[in-house]
Every structure is written in C-alpha cells, then in structure tokens.
Amino acid sequence: MGFGLDDAVLARYAPGMSTQLQITRPDDWHLHLRDGAMMQGILPETTRHFGRAIIMPNLVPPVVTGADARAYRDRILAARPEGCDFAPLMTLYLTEDTDPKDVRAAHTSGLVTAAKLYPAGATTNSASGVRDFDKIQPVLETMAEIGMPMCVHGEVTDSDIDIFDREAVFIDQVLDPLRQRVPDLKVVMEHITTKDGADYARSAPGKLAATITTHHLIINRNHILVGGIKPHYYCLPVAKREEHRLALVKAATSGNPAYFLGTDSAPHTDALKENACGCAGVFSATNTMACLAAVFEKEDALPQLEGFASLNGPSFYGLPPNSDKITLTKGDVVTFPEKIETGDGPVTVFDPGFPIHWHISQ
C-alpha cells in the first residue's frame, strides 16, 4: 500500500548523497502533553526540536481557569529536560460557564495564549465541552476584543451525521455562523482533514487559519482499515479519502500563511490503543520534522517548509519567530524508536510507512 511517496521519489535517496536545509526552529501549534508520568516520558520528544507549543487543555479535569493554566504550566516547566528553554503556550478549555473576566485576565497577563473550543463529545476528554454555542457568545466577544485566538476542534457530534462528513458540516452549520456573529474573532481550525477545511481556512486572511498534522499529510482512511484495523493510525478527526489528503498536502506546501504545523501529537499507551474500544490519537512528536521534510521533498517544496513549520504560526498569533535554527540533512535511512517508554506504559511512535532519510540537528 502506498503512503504518498512513490519509487521515483525514494530513488533520489542514493547512499552517500547529502542535502542540507537550515530553518528557523519550528513550533507545534497543537500538542497534547497529558500530565504526570506520561508527560515526563513524552515531553523530551517535543523539546528536542520545537521551541514552543500550544498546549491542549483537555486534561481530567480540564484546564478551565487561569489558575488551572498557571498550575499546569508550572508542572510542564518543572518536567523540561535540564537546560531546555522550551516554552509552553497555554490554552483554556471553553465551557458554557467560562467566565469572560477570567479569560481576559489570563490573556492580558500573558499567562494564556488562546482558548480551545471542543464540541461536547467530539474527541478525547471533551465531555465538558460546549453543547449550546450561544452560551459562549459573551466569552467569544471578549476574546475578539482582546485579540485572543480561539482554537477549535471542528466537528459536529450529531449521531446522524457520518463521521467522514462531520468537519464539512461543522464549517457550514457551526463555524461560519459563529464567525458571522463575532466577525473580529481570530480562529484557528485545528487539524483540518478535508478539502472543505483547506478551502475555508484561507477565506479570511488574518482572521482565520488552520493547522495541519503530520499524519494527515501522509495517511488516508485506507491506512487505518485495509488489511486489518491499524489502531495507531486512528485519530479524531479521522483520516479521510485520498483526495482530501492531497488537498492538505497542496495547502501545506503552498506557502499560504493561512496554514501551519500543529502535530496534534496525542500519546496514549499501547494498552489503551490496542483494545476493543481504542483511544483516538497519533503520537508523532518524535519524527514529525523528518517526516515533513520527506513530504515537502516529494512536492519539490522544501523552500516552503520553514514557512509552514516555523513562520506562519507565530505570524498569526502575533509572536516573533524563534531566534535559533535547526538543520535538516538528507542522507542514510533514519531509525526512530518504535515506542517511547513512559511511567504509564509504552507509547507507539507514528510510522509513516516508508523510509525516512532526513536527520535533524541543532
């Protein structure tokens, strides 16, 4: 089964060949770190290559208030490897009871970068999310006033809507009407998976943007289902048809500033992934940059990689790019660990399904 890179592309990687690309240190604009022993185990996989990351707030219980965010940030900082200056960018979990005053205080103090909208029941630990979107109107108006972006998991949860259609329906029935009611709100459509999402994300420059994951650039729904169920490719939003994957690749490699990297790297232990009701999430922090280089190489778009991974995100969020660089070198096949051992159990690393020849160094 093909994973997007054909034999002609793989043939470019002759032994002894070496190509270097230096880019501004990237950021991850959608990251799950979990907490406790899991966070201790997987945090170094992100800090190795990324300068900053938007940290998802869907813990149990969720990060709802500024005080919650401060406490979670302190735990992340305490877990960083020695000498590491990785900066967690904190988010608040929007609920129907979120206090606009607390949101304003958390953002204007610099503690919190964004707020996250989860439709209730849409994904992992989203039970506390929003059911009645009218109830968060005051919060959204406050966010628009202070320039605080809203990150959104863009899927409806209606049981009568097919899981492969839920992103497109969300855009039409929820997101577009919401943006019409609060036109000054900055919105990040997280982990888009469809051509519909890619098309909509570029419709309002400066006010609307989208993150794209590494795995959605590489896999389609066949990779999950053909030849047996592959639980480590199962995520939400679920991967779609090949035509949608190709639309995402076109968007990511286009150079359009509306698109930037958000890995949605989401660790679950193998025991939680490999069972009759496996958790949704792909863990890609370990090899994301190397995989992205291969994707951009295939599209003859390596000059666009820095914008996608390192520049477009900071620009949308009103932050400066990182001041240091990383170097990507193409050479012999890279061997990545199959699993990351944590105090909670092993976490399987995303397998792109083809040889990776890009080495990352500082």
Q: Which residues are catalytic?
A: 264
Strand partners of residue 22? 327
What values do phi and psi take at 95, rounded to 5? -125, 175
CA 65 to CA 95: how far, in whole Å?
10
Question: Are 111 and 69 spatial neighbours (Cβ–Cβ below 8 Å)?
Answer: yes
Both tokens assigned to 267: 């660790």
Buried b (16+ CB within 10 A) or exposed e, 236-254: bbbbbeeebbebbbebbbb
DSSP 306-353: HIIIIIHHHHHHT-PPPSSEEEEEE-SPP---SEEEETTEEEEPP--S
SS3 275: coil
CA 313 to CA 190: how far, in whole Å?
12
Closest CA to 117 of 135, 102, 130: 130
CA 313 to CA 318: how far, in whole Å?
9
N-terminal to C-terminal alpha carbon distance within the chain = 34
Kindly provide the residue ranges of all beta strands, DSSP E only, lying in the chain, ordered along the sequence: 19-24, 28-31, 52-55, 87-93, 112-117, 150-152, 187-189, 208-212, 259-261, 325-330, 339-342, 345-348, 358-361
Question: Are 317 and 349 spatial neighbours (Cβ–Cβ below 8 Å)?
Answer: no
Question: Are 69 and 91 spatial neighbours (Cβ–Cβ below 8 Å)?
Answer: yes
Both tokens assigned to 100: 């606009």
Both tokens assigned to 246: 């190709």
